[in-house]
Amino acid sequence: MSVLVGRGSDPFLAVGDTVVRFSPKELTSFAIETFGSYDKLVLFVGIGVVLALVAAAAGTIATRRLGPGLTIPVLLVLAAGAAVLTSPGATALKLVPLVVGTVVGATAFVVLVRLARVGKPADGSPTEQEPRPARASRRLFLAAAGATAVGAAALAGVGRVLGGTLRDATASRDGLALPAATNAVPETPTGAQLVEGGPFRTANADFYRVDTALTVPQIPAEGWTVRVHGLVDNTLELDWNGLTSRFEVVDREITMVCVSNPVGGELAGNAVWRGVRLADVLTEAGVDPSADMVLSTSVDGWTASTPLAALLDSDDAMLAFGMNGEPLPFEHGFPVRMVVPGLYGYVSATKWVTDLKVTRFADDEAYWTPRGYAAEAPVKTASRIEVPESFAQLPAGTVVVAGTAWHPGLGIDAVEVRVDGGDWQPADLGEVGGPTTWRQWRWEWAAEPGQHTVEVRATDADGGIQTDERAEIAPDGSTGWHSVVVTVAET
Ligand SMILES: Nc1nc2c(c(=O)[nH]1)N[C@H]1C(S)=C(S)[C@@H](COP(=O)(O)O)O[C@H]1N2
Ligand SMILES: [Mo]
């Protein structure tokens, strides 16, 4: 049903969206950290379980008294309707799937309740029923209930498949020829790779994913446009051809980091992005000197606030359409997203971007700002130990301690390791092509028997040493040294 009416009309998704939109930030960050990429699955299963329990309760009450039994479903439908109508881009038409679903569901509900009542005493009257018809009607009820469940599941399945086909941008992505870049980022130098198993460049399939989108937007490149407006001399409306032919296409290797990354965490990835410089696009539009921010909006209404200076003064900040030599994967923003080195993703990396408003921090606010996160958020210096893992049992002798460090604005100049609070020891650093990527490090430890704590800290290219002070993720990113505890065996 939602297939015909379009995005934002699926009541199930609208409820999910609303749960996400109105969840306290502690809950959404908890879900992202705890369930990672499965946070949405957990949300949907949660909604499904609640619905099933409520339906069972309503059915039980309704077999005795239809009126009170119907109150709960009616309240649920009203809540779902409110969720649909408060979703971004809501129109009355988007209520159609919910209304049709309600009529079909209500009919099935009433029929089932009638069937369940056969063989049950009417209110107050003593039972006169024979046991035989009661058993027959129970069988009939179970059959009808089963048929309803199967029918509902089949309808939902057909809807999903149809929706997938009608809204699918796979053909567009498969047929897309990435424009060539004017520069080439060299293959990963062997000297960049110091951690066994931890790739310097992250494969697209392994790249972390964080967003509030419950269904991945499907926008064919041919139907995509981005509007550049606000405090500019000329409003620009760029389509795929305009974007890729009017501006120089460049490749940049950039490490992206999520503000929700805990100390030692894995919500960071490094890729070669292909796109056009945001500085070129904004210069073409002509930016008013009173502006200090770009509010970028995705097709599903999510927004990010990026300091204008971080875009205008950057040779790397881009509107990207390529990721490691391929068109962007759908989950990573196809057809076009923003990528800005040195700023956390929530203030810079808008996927499925369709709107760039040049504005002021004083006048506009992004999605996460009223939810307890800072309006501006540069990536903080971080380093992590990837080998050995915490609680590893190791043989005595030479142990390789290695990992990754980043400050993808300035770059990393030094990494140091210490054991059991002893002196800091300099680690070897991997080669990097520039300051916009993370950097691997490696240190050989003459490990002696016993239990040990190994800690790491990094120094950025300005000489700033990573702080050991622990900070929570909200409002602008965690800090603190990563450590692992290992046991070295007696020889
Ligand atoms: N449209 C949209 N873009 C978004 C987000 C989002 O919720 N919606 N999340 C941002 C956040 S918090 C991060 S860390 C990066 C993650 O990008 P990735 O999923 O490609 O790794 O995307 C950013 N872009
Ligand atoms: Mo993020």
Number of the ligand 1 atom closest to the C-alpha atom of 298: 1
Ligand 1 neighbour 141 (Cβ under 6 A): no
Question: Is 173 domain-assigned?
Answer: no
Ligand 1 neighbour 351 (Cβ under 6 A): yes
Residue pLDDT, tens place only, 233-281: 999 999 999 999 999 999 999 999 999 999 999 999 999 999 999 999 9
Q: What's the start-to-end Cα distance of the chain, in Å? A: 69
Please tell me whether residue 358 adopts helix, strand or coil conformation: strand
Question: Would you state the pLDDT for residue 454?
Answer: 98
Q: Which residues contact 444 (CB under 8 A, 6 or more apart)?
A: 398, 399, 400, 401
Question: Would you state the pLDDT for residue 126?
Answer: 44
Question: Would you state the pLDDT for residue 38?
Answer: 62
Which of 355, 268, 64, 57 shows the shortest CA–CA distance to 366? 355
Ligand 1 neighbour 258 (Cβ under 6 A): yes
Residue 132 sits in the same domain as residue 73: yes
Number of the ligand 1 atom closest to the C-alpha atom of 259: 14
Q: Which two tokens stand for residue 355?
A: 């709107």
Ligand 2 centre from 461 Cα, in Å? 24
Question: Would you state the pLDDT for residue 447?
Answer: 97
Which of 4, 10, 388 shows the shortest CA–CA distance to 196? 388
Q: Residue with structure tokens 């032919």?
A: 245
Provide the sign of the torsion angle of the four alpha carbons 385, 390, 395, 397, taken in this order: positive
Residue 342 sits in the same domain as residue 391: no
Ligand 1 neighbour 278 (Cβ under 6 A): no
Q: Which residues contact 42 (CB under 8 A, 6 or more apart)?
A: 31, 35
Phi then psi dihedrals of residue 113, to 5 deg: -60, -45
Residue 130 sits in the same domain as residue 32: yes
Ligand 1 neighbour 302 (Cβ under 6 A): yes
Q: How many other β-carbons are positioned within 10 Å of the β-carbon of residue 175?
A: 11
Ligand 1 centre from 211 Cα, in Å? 5
CA separation for the pair 450, 87 (Å, rounded): 57
> For the chain, which residues score pLDDT lower than 50?
1-4, 121-122, 124-132
Question: Would you state the pLDDT for residue 115?
Answer: 73
Question: Is 95 domain-assigned?
Answer: yes
Residue 229 sits in the same domain as residue 327: yes
Residue 469 sits in the same domain as residue 432: yes
Question: Would you state the pLDDT for residue 161?
Answer: 59
Contact call for residues 268 and 36 (beta carbons, < 8 A): no
Residue 49 sits in the same domain as residue 149: yes
Which of 344, 321, 327, 319 shows the shortest CA–CA distance to 227? 319
Contact call for residues 277 and 311 (beta carbons, < 8 A): no
CA separation for the pair 239, 225 (Å, rounded): 4
Pick from 98, 133, 163: which residue ends a domain?
163
**Which residues are placed with Cβ below 5 angstroms of ligand 2, an ion?**
210, 258, 345-346
Q: Could you tell me the residue range of the domain that residue 451 belongs to?
A: 382-488
Residue 394 sits in the same domain as residue 338: no
The kind and range of the H/E element at 156 are helix 131-166
Helix pair angle (66-85, 11-22), 10° resolution:
70
Structural domains of the chain, count? 3
Contact call for residues 394 and 487 (beta carbons, < 8 A): yes
Ligand 2 centre from 368 Cα, in Å? 10
Mutate which of 351, 352, 369, 379 to test ligand 1's pocket (most atoms within 8 Å of Cβ)?
Answer: 351
Question: Is 172 domain-assigned?
Answer: no
Residue nearest to atom 19 of ligand 1 (CA): 209
The kind and range of the H/E element at 399 are strand 397-406
Residue pLDDT, tens place only, 288-337: 999 999 999 999 999 999 999 999 999 999 999 999 999 999 999 999 99
Residue 208 sits in the same domain as residue 236: yes
Mutate which of 7, 21, 23, 211 to test ligand 1's pocket (most atoms within 8 Å of Cβ)?
Answer: 211
Q: Which two tokens stand for residue 77?
A: 């439908």
**Strands 393-394 and 482-488, how do they pair?**
parallel
What distances in angstroms separate CA 111 from CA 99, 116, 134, 189, 297, one per listed residue? 18, 9, 17, 69, 47
Domain CATH number, residue 475: 2.60.40.650
Contact call for residues 105 and 76 (beta carbons, < 8 A): no
Question: Would you state the pLDDT for residue 268?
Answer: 98
Beta-strand ranges (E) seen in 292-341 are 293-298, 303-307, 318-323, 326-327, 337-339
Ligand 1 neighbour 368 (Cβ under 6 A): no
